[in-house]
Structures are given as structure tokens and as C-alpha cells.
Amino acid sequence: MDIENDAYVKKLVDKIGENFQKLENYLQRKYPGEKYLKTKVEIRFPRGYFRKCEDFRKRYPCNDQTIGRNVSYAIFSTDLIRWLLNRFKLLGTLRSMVIKLGVVIVTSAIEGIIHDTLRVLGIKPAKSLKKNIEKLRQEGVISERLAKELQKFRKKRDNIHLYVVREWEYQKYTLADYNRGIILLKYLNEELQGK
């Protein structure tokens, strides 16, 4: 049966949630303890939500084909993050950590694009994203404002090094952080393409 209105969507979402819970309850009873965590039950993922890597390679072109492909794979994987955040009621720490994954992935794509750009310019990239952003700024390839925003966003990603983080990460990452990364990726691309 096709969905014809928002009222039906609400009922369908409630039913899907109920059935997911029934499935988990069953699996927990049938496979107690560690067995439950290792039990594989695959649900067919909805088709049509994910964009194509090829489109990302065109939108974010890189001179180095390997970097270009890896950047497109990273951006492609953010569709899963976005889907989880838009389709599931994730709360508290779990929501924050899913957002953190998105921040890390987006920063990796930004890092790859910057690294590729420096190579094209004949500038040896540093191992540090912080230094590479500064190199692009010094060369006048990106604006002062974008460099400042990229540095601020990079600091969020630097929390992948848990030994550096001196505070609990509980609800430290927000949807605004993730969305900011997506916007910065777009702005970086526009400045590098001269738009």
C-alpha cells in the first residue's frame, strides 16, 4: 500500500518502531549475552536515499585520483549519518557520538581536498591539517574567514584523540556542528574552484 498522507506516515513509523523492538526482544531472549551482540540479522536498507560517489567526484574534483575517490567515499558515507539522524530518535550520548562520526568523516574529506590542492600548487603538505589550512591561507588560495572557520571546525575533529580530550564528551557534539562541516566543505570547494 502506498503512503498517501502524513497521518499514515506517523502510524507507519510507530509500527516500524514497535516491530524493531519486537525483533530485538526476540533476539535477546534467543541469544543471551555475547551471542546476542554477534547475531547477524540484516534488514533490507531502503533504496534511493544515498547519492552516488561519482557525483561527489565531479563536485569535489581532485588531481590525485586516489584522494579524489577516497574523498567521494567519505562524503558518500555521510549520507548514512544523515539518514540515521533523520530517521531514528537517537538521544543523549549515542546521538552525540553519531554526530561526532559525521564531524570526523567530513573533516577527513576537507583534509584530503586541502592536501590535494597543496600538491597541485607545488607546496609540500604538512602532516598537520592545522598547518595545511594555514599554508592555503598564506598563499591566498582561501580567505582569512574560511581559514578561521576551518581551524575552528578542525578542533572539533581533533577530539578523535581521546587522550587529548580533558572533558567528558557527553552531548559535546550537536547537529549544528555536523551541518557546519557540510557547509564548510561547500565553501572550501567554492573558493578552490574560484566561484
Write the DSSP assignment of 53-82 as a string of letters.
Answer: HHHHHHHS--SSHHHHHHHHHHHHHHHHHH
Tens digit of pLDDT for each residue in 90-144? 999 999 999 999 999 999 999 999 999 999 999 999 999 999 999 999 999 999 9
Look up the domain containing 70 and give its range.
49-193
Tens digit of pLDDT for each residue in 173-182? 899 999 999 9
CA distance 42 to 60: 33
Identify whether the C-beta of residue 20 lies closer than 8 Å to the C-beta of residue 11. Answer: no
Same domain, 137 and 117: yes
**How many structural domains is the chain composed of?**
2
Same domain, 91 and 176: yes
Same domain, 103 and 61: yes
Same domain, 14 and 105: no
Same domain, 136 and 169: yes
CATH of the domain at 59: 1.20.120
CA distance 156 to 133: 15
Say which residues have a Cβ less than 8 Å from residue 181's Cβ, sequence separation at least 6.
102, 103, 106, 107, 110, 153, 156
Same domain, 5 and 97: no
Same domain, 2 and 66: no
The amino acid at residue 111 is E
Same domain, 28 and 110: no
The amino acid at residue 23 is L
**Cell 587529548, residue?**
164
Q: Supply the pTM of this predicted model.
A: 0.89
Same domain, 61 and 127: yes
What average pLDDT is seen over the chain?
A: 92
